[in-house]
C-alpha cells in the first residue's frame, strides 16, 4: 500500500515536529537556568528629588529579596536613607534619621521614623509632607499590594496634636482603670 503523502510533505511534517521539540527543549533549558542561577535579587525603583530642583525621578536598585514584605519594605527604606547613587538626585531623608519600626498588615504599611526626619536639615529642602509623599510613592510603586502608608514620628502622627497617656495618679492603680 502506497502512502498518501509525498516525500516532500513527510519531510516538512517531520521538520515541523523537530522544530517544535527543539523549541520546547530550549524553553525548558532557559527556565531551568533562570531558576537555578537566579541570584535572589529584584529591581526596585527608588524616587528622589533632583539635586537642583524638587522634580522627582526614579533610580533603579537591585536589592536582595527578603523573607516577607515587612523586611522588603524596611530594606527599601534603608536604601532610600542611604541616599541616591545618581549625582542628578538629591537626598530625600536627613542622614541622622532612623527607622524605628515597620509594620505591614493586609494592604497597609505603618512606618515610624525618629525625630531626625523633622529636625535635621536635609540637603534637599522639601517640606515634611512632600518627603512623605515621595516615600509613599516609592513604597506603593514597588509593593502594589500596599494601598495605604501611614507615617509616624516617634509614634506620633505628624501635624496632629501631641498625644500622651498620662501616668496614673498616686493612689490609683492601673487595674482600677
Average pLDDT, the chain: 84
Give helix 128-142 / helix 69-82 axis angle, nearest 10°.
130
Considering the entire predicted model, what is its pTM?
0.69
Question: Out of 79-83, 103-107, 159-163, which region has the weakest mean confidence (pLDDT)?
Answer: 159-163
- Alpha carbon 175 to chain centroid, angstroms: 43
Q: What is the pLDDT of residues 83-136, one digit of tens each?
A: 999 999 999 998 889 999 999 999 999 999 999 898 876 566 788 999 999 999
Helix (H, G, I), strand (E, B) or coil at 18: helix
Residue with cell 529579596: 65
| Closest among 102, 80, 99 to 91, alpha carbons compared | 80
User: Contact 70/104 with Cβ under 8 angstroms?
Assistant: yes
Pairing mode of beta strands 148-153, 108-113: parallel
User: Contact 74/49 with Cβ under 8 angstroms?
Assistant: no
Amino acid at each position: 500500500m502506497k502512502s498518501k503523502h509525498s516525500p516532500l510533505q513527510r519531510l516538512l511534517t517531520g521538520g515541523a515536529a523537530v522544530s517544535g521539540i527543539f523549541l520546547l527543549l530550549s524553553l525548558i533549558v532557559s527556565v531551568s537556568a533562570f531558576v537555578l542561577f537566579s541570584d535572589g535579587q529584584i529591581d526596585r525603583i527608588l524616587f528622589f528629588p533632583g539635586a537642583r530642583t524638587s522634580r522627582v525621578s526614579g533610580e533603579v536598585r537591585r536589592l536582595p529579596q527578603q523573607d516577607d514584605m515587612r523586611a522588603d519594605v524596611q530594606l527599601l527604606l534603608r536604601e532610600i536613607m542611604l541616599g541616591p547613587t545618581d549625582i542628578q538626585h538629591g537626598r530625600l531623608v536627613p542622614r541622622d534619621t532612623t527607622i524605628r519600626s515597620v509594620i505591614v498588615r493586609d494592604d497597609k504599611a505603618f512606618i515610624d521614623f525618629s525625630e531626625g526626619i523633622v529636625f535635621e536639615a536635609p540637603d534637599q529642602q522639601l517640606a515634611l509632607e512632600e518627603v512623605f509623599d515621595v516615600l509613599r510613592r516609592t513604597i506603593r510603586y514597588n509593593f502594589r499590594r500596599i494601598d495605604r502608608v501611614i507615617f509616624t514620628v516617634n509614634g506620633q502622627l505628624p501635624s496632629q496634636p501631641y498625644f500622651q497617656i498620662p501616668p496614673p495618679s498616686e493612689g490609683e492603680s492601673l487595674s482600677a482603670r
